[in-house]
Amino acid sequence: MRRYLDLWRIPGAPMLLVGGTIARLGHGVTIVAWLLLVRAVSGNYAEAGLVAGAISLATAFAAPVAGRLVDRFTVSRVLPIIAAAYSVSQLALLTAVLSEQRPWVTVPLAVITGALFPPLSPAIRAGWTHLTRPDGGHASARTTAMAAESTVFELVFVMGPLLLSGFIVATGAVGVGDPSTAGTAAAIVVAALTTAVGTVTVARGAALRTVSGSAAGVRTVGLGPLRVTGFPVMLAITAAVAFGFGASPVAIAAFADLRSGGEGSATTGLLIAIWSLGSAAGGLTYGALPWPTVGVSGLARRAAVVLALLAGGYALWNLTGSVPAFAVVLVLTGAVIAPAAALLAELVASAVPAGMPTEAYTWFTCVNMSVAALGGAIAGQVVENSGGVSLAFWICAVAAALAGLGAVALAVSADRSPFASTDTGADTDTGAETGAAS
């Protein structure tokens, strides 16, 4: 754990680790909460899925815009405004849902609240990139920092549903007539407030206060990071991984229904929690190991190995015939998820100019959310057919294998045309459009 202790001692790191975790607890709550609340009030899953989907897609496509604003005007100026507007929009949507407004009211509000989702995770990754830049004396901590961030991200989405359940149980204990609706609504209110206060606190901390593209002497215009050498390949790798991440929970739920004897819902929640905890353990282990400092080519090769292990793990799902055996394989498969996410973050930090880190990371948010939704939709159709669970598992394996091939292609490309160092400032040789700082 010495590497984590060294990371903790970096000025600004404790706020990113602790404050960033607390500020994002609401993220793990709201994803499930809106689906449950709209279903409870409206009585049908179609409207619930419409509202939840509108939030997710709006977040995905608005994220790069928010990221560019952060890079141009600093984290401390932009994120507090977005976070405050997001919380207000959440409360407005909550009011509309509880008053049983029609979809033509709730869906536009859902789009607004999704578009205002504060890009705190991309900003935190940009903060880690800044703290571990080569000229700052902490470059060797980058792998540990990105592994810690990926682990925190996993834990947020384990703790979020648990907190939601806690609110429902608590409201039932005090004698509320409909604890499911009241508890879910209370959880959304608390999540909105936590997100606003936590985001403002972290954004004004020492690590993020001055992070911006202007500080690097550039202003991103046009396609920005999309024109950076290798960046589209990184997004393609992310898309393949995200497809599997979106499809796998559906496949896990279908497996649980087949193997758990009528306790599918409870078993699904347990299996996904086990999978996420395996990822968290893998992320912590990866960050604690003494990895050598390497460039894009070396990171891409490491990613190819990790993604090959992920593909193998998905394939092993087909060899399990019971819930306990499946749980063991899930732990092993989950152990490579956080390292894969950390490696993708390291690739961005190594390849993207210092003037656009937040926008670059928000493109990963866009791809992850949109492609994961596609993966879930396709898996839902697949598992409805005879033998569909096994086919869904194989689809996840193929997606991870394609991601690994993408990492190999990125490594080969980097070997043929070495990437310029981009940690210390703008580098117009990367193909990104830059101009004078505003």
Q: Report pLDDT for 134.
A: 80
Looking at every residue in the chain, the average pLDDT score rounds to 85
Instruction: Report the range out of 208-222, 401-415, 416-430 with the highest average pLDDT.
Output: 401-415
Residue 160 has which token pair?
Answer: 């979020």
Q: pLDDT of 86-124, one tens digit each? A: 999 999 999 999 999 999 999 999 999 999 999 999 999
- Cα distance from N-terminal residue to C-terminal residue, the chain: 43
Amino acid at residue number 182: A
Closest C-alpha to 55, from 21, 20, 13, 97: 97
Co-location of 238 and 138 in the same domain: no
Co-location of 169 and 227 in the same domain: no
Residue 254 pLDDT grade (very low, low, confident, very high; cuts 50, 70, 90) = confident
Co-location of 305 and 404 in the same domain: yes
> Looking at the domain assignment, is residue 427 inside a domain?
no
324 burial class (0-12, 13-18, 19+ CB within 10 angstroms)?
A: exposed
Per 3-state DSSP, what percentage of the chain is helix, strand, and coil (rounded to 5)? 80, 0, 20
Residue 429 pLDDT grade (very low, low, confident, very high; cuts 50, 70, 90) = very low
Q: Are 205 and 19 in contact (CB under 8 A)?
A: yes
Q: Note the helical H segments in 352-387.
A: 357-382
Co-location of 131 and 92 in the same domain: yes
Higher pLDDT, 211 or 347: 347
Q: Does the pLDDT of residue 168 top 50, yes or no?
A: yes
Closest C-alpha to 109, from 123, 95, 120: 95
Cβ neighbours for 299, distance < 8 A, ≥ 6 positions apart: 343, 346, 347, 350
Domain count, the chain: 2
> Looking at the domain assignment, is residue 437 inside a domain?
no
Co-location of 94 and 168 in the same domain: yes
Question: Which of the residue ranges 11-20, 265-274, 415-424 would you say has the lowest mean pLDDT?
Answer: 415-424
Closest C-alpha to 409, from 301, 271, 266: 301
Place of tokens 């117009």: 428
Co-location of 187 and 252 in the same domain: no
Q: Report pLDDT for 425.
A: 38
Closest C-alpha to 294, from 230, 219, 332, 351: 351
Q: Are 152 and 338 in contact (CB under 8 A)?
A: no
Q: Do β-strands 434-435 and 219-220 pair in parallel, antiparallel, or remain unpaired?
A: antiparallel
> Please, what is the Cα angle at 33 between 28 and 35, to 5 degrees?
120
Co-location of 210 and 236 in the same domain: no
Query: What DSSP state is assigned to residue 352?
Result: S
Q: pLDDT of 311-349, one tens digit each? A: 999 999 998 888 899 999 999 889 999 999 999 999 988
Residue 244 pLDDT grade (very low, low, confident, very high; cuts 50, 70, 90) = very high
Co-location of 129 and 16 in the same domain: yes
Choosing from 174, 201, 217, the residue where a domain stops is: 217
Q: Report pLDDT for 431.
A: 37
Q: Does the pLDDT of residue 175 top 90, yes or no?
A: no
Q: d(Cα 377, Cα 283) in Å, to the nearest integer?
A: 28
Co-location of 199 and 315 in the same domain: no
Residue 205 pLDDT grade (very low, low, confident, very high; cuts 50, 70, 90) = confident
Instruction: Write down the pTM of the prediction.
Output: 0.82
Q: Report pLDDT for 430.
A: 37
Choosing from 191, 217, 243, the residue where a domain stops is: 217
Q: How far is CA 142 from the centre of its chain?
A: 18
Q: pLDDT of 285-301, one tens digit each? A: 999 998 888 889 999 99
Residue 403 has which token pair?
Answer: 């991601």
Co-location of 201 and 229 in the same domain: no
> Looking at the domain assignment, is residue 3 inside a domain?
no
Place of tokens 């497809």: 243
Q: How many CA atoms lie within 13 A of 414 on its CB side?
A: 25
> Looking at the domain assignment, is residue 4 inside a domain?
no
Residue 409 pLDDT grade (very low, low, confident, very high; cuts 50, 70, 90) = very high
Q: Report pLDDT for 435.
A: 31
Q: Are 229 and 431 in contact (CB under 8 A)?
A: yes
Q: Does the pLDDT of residue 170 top 90, yes or no?
A: no
> Looking at the domain assignment, is residue 140 inside a domain?
yes
> Looking at the domain assignment, is residue 116 inside a domain?
yes
> Looking at the domain assignment, is residue 321 inside a domain?
yes
> Looking at the domain assignment, is residue 47 inside a domain?
yes
CATH number at residue 173: 1.20.1250.20
Q: Does the pLDDT of residue 219 top 80, yes or no?
A: no
Question: Which of the residue ranges 12-16, 25-29, 55-59, 213-217 would you say has the lowest mean pLDDT?
Answer: 213-217
Place of tokens 């499930």: 32
Rounded percentage of the chain residues whose pLDDT exceeds 70: 89
Co-location of 63 and 156 in the same domain: yes
Structural domain span for residue 61: 11-217
Cβ neighbours for 325, distance < 8 A, ≥ 6 positions apart: none
Q: pLDDT of 185-202, one tens digit each? A: 999 999 999 999 999 999
Co-location of 329 and 344 in the same domain: yes
